[in-house]
């Protein structure tokens, strides 16, 4: 009798290869069947039909670092699909608030876009978010920085919620746990 | 009678200008007497006598974001001096553990260097630290990434300690506070 990892076929494989995103993923992934920073950069650039998917390698490194749950330094299919779905759904929110079609949003538009995604942040945190995620040090936010910001906010919120056991808006951390949450966000 | 901010001379000014670092600071600072990303990049590059102070503009943006306590987006004299002292003291630790003089340290050397500075992190957090702060996605750490890592670790540890009121290694956060601490690190 075989166990997963001892020669048994991966139970998820049939669903994965039937997924409509699988052909594109497997074309972009390297020989090892995984997607590294350069391959992700190429995969998103090739899909950049309307110019909004213009992500730098630095942004791609952040996306992998934030979604890389098995710490392989690369993306498997489920991690790639998670990013792909997130990018496509957040693109709509971003475009809705990029009223002048400049490809960037300002602080108040960022606040509204985050609110629409369920994150109500006070103005001081919006200012901090722009400063932390804006890779060019500007006061407006291109879509790639918006994706980094929401990915980080989503990961932090999930981590906070899992420790807010009493559901009263407070969470307790020990030191190593606290540092790990930061290093992974 | 005048109060600070209502025409009274800044009480700290005489001490500041007598500081040995002040002449260098005021030469590097712009007309506004503050140091922005480009000026910091130039100031550190000019002081880069032994090649270890080679910081990218991206690293300089991170340093300002992490030390910018008045949210001006620039560095005043006290913030610049804090960075200057930190960089010079951490350089000694870094060089001590960069045994092959490659200008980079690996995971085990990073663990020892952080330990010497008072931060005992388990191996999994060392791996996460390299992944988060390594701007080139490599497995070794140049000095500039080491400075970003220690600045962030120091800021987070101070934030954690200030909330560990019972001194038992746990700290409680509400959501906005938690997001603010992580966005400022």
Q: What is the pLDDT of residues A150-174, one digit of tens each?
A: 988 998 999 999 999 999 999 999 9
What secondary structure, in 3-state letters, does B128-142 show?
Answer: HHHHHHCCCCCCCEE
Q: What is d(CA B83, CA B60) in angstroms, rounded to the nearest whole number?
A: 10
Is the predicted pLDDT of residue A1 greater than 50, yes or no? no
Provide, as residue numbers in chain B, all residues whose Cβ is less than 8 Å from the Cβ of A174: 169-170
Q: What is the mean pLDDT of residues B95-108?
A: 89
Q: Is residue A128 part of a domain?
A: yes
Q: Which residues contact A52 (CB under 8 A, 6 or more apart)?
A: A91, A94, A95, A103, A143
Token digits of residue B123: 């191996």
Beta strands in B49-125 (DSSP E): 104-105
Neighbours of A42 (CB within 10 A): 14
Q: What is the mean pLDDT of residues B150-177?
A: 93
Is the predicted pLDDT of residue A114 greater than 90, yes or no? yes
Strongest mean pLDDT among A25-39, A132-146, B25-39, B161-175: B161-175
Q: Is residue B3 part of a domain?
A: no
Burial level of B1, CB count in 10 A (0-12/13-18/19+)?
exposed
Q: What is the dihedral of CA B162, B182, A64, A74, to 10 degrees?
A: 0
Q: What is d(CA B140, CA B110) in angstroms, rounded to the nearest whole number?
A: 9
What pLDDT is stored for residue A185 in this prediction? Answer: 75
Question: Which residue segment(s) compose the domain that B65 sits in?
Answer: 13-184
> Which one has a higher pLDDT value, A38 or A66?
A38
Q: Is residue B6 part of a domain?
A: no
Q: Is residue A117 part of a domain?
A: yes
Q: Is residue B60 part of a domain?
A: yes
What pLDDT is stored for residue B26 in this prediction? Answer: 92
> Which one has a higher pLDDT value, A93 or A136?
A93
B interface residues, A as partner, C-beta within 8 Å: 37, 58, 61, 65, 68, 71, 73, 121-122, 124-125, 127-129, 131-132, 135, 137, 152-153, 156-157, 160, 164, 169-176, 178-180, 182-185
Domains contained in chain A, number: 1
Calculate ∠ Cα A29-A15-A184, nearest 5°. Answer: 55
Which CATH number belongs to the domain containing residue A102 in this structure? 1.10.238.10
DSSP B11: T
Nearest chain B residue to A61 by CA distance is B137
B9-64 pLDDT tens trace: 444 566 778 898 999 999 999 888 999 989 999 998 888 766 666 788 878 888 88
- How far does B14 lie from chain A, in Å, by closest CA? 32
Q: What is the mean pLDDT of residues B52-80?
A: 82
Is the predicted pLDDT of residue B137 greater than 70, yes or no? no
Q: What is the mean pLDDT of chain A?
A: 84
Q: What is the mean pLDDT of residues B145-161?
A: 91
- Mean pLDDT is lowest, of A52-66, A153-167, B4-18, B105-119, for B4-18
Q: Is residue A4 part of a domain?
A: no
What pLDDT is stored for residue A5 in this prediction? Answer: 36
Is the predicted pLDDT of residue B135 greater than 90, yes or no? no
Q: Is residue A168 part of a domain?
A: yes
Is the predicted pLDDT of residue A6 greater than 60, yes or no? no
Is the predicted pLDDT of residue A138 greater than 90, yes or no? no
What pLDDT is stored for residue A3 in this prediction? Answer: 36
What pLDDT is stored for residue A46 in this prediction? Answer: 85
Q: Is residue B5 part of a domain?
A: no
What pLDDT is stored for residue A137 in this prediction? Answer: 67
- For B172, the closest of A129, A170, A180 (CB atoms) is A170
Strongest mean pLDDT among A22-36, A49-63, A64-78: A22-36
Is the predicted pLDDT of residue A104 greater than 80, yes or no? yes
- For B156, the closest of A137, A152, A179 (CB atoms) is A179
């Amino acid at each position: 009798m075989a166990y997963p990892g001892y020669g048994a076929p991966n139970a998820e494989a049939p669903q994965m290869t039937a997924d409509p995103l699988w052909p594109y993923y497997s074309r972009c992934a390297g020989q090892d069947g995984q997607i590294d920073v350069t391959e992700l950069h190429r995969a998103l650039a090739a899909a950049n039909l309307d110019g909004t998917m213009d992500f730098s390698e630095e942004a791609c490194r952040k996306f992998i670092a934030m979604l890389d749950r098995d710490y392989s330094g690369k993306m498997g299919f489920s991690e790639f699909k998670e990013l792909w779905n997130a990018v496509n759904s957040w693109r709509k929110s971003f475009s809705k608030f990029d009223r002048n079609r400049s490809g960037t949003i300002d602080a108040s538009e960022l606040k509204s876009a985050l609110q629409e995604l369920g994150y109500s942040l006070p103005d001081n945190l919006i200012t901090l978010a722009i400063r932390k995620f804006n890779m060019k040090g500007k006061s407006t936010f291109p879509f790639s920085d918006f994706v980094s910001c929401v990915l980080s906010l989503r990961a932090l919120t999930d981590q906070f919620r899992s420790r807010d056991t009493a559901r009263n808006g407070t969470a307790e951390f020990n030191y190593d746990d606290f540092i790990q949450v930061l290093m992974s966000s």
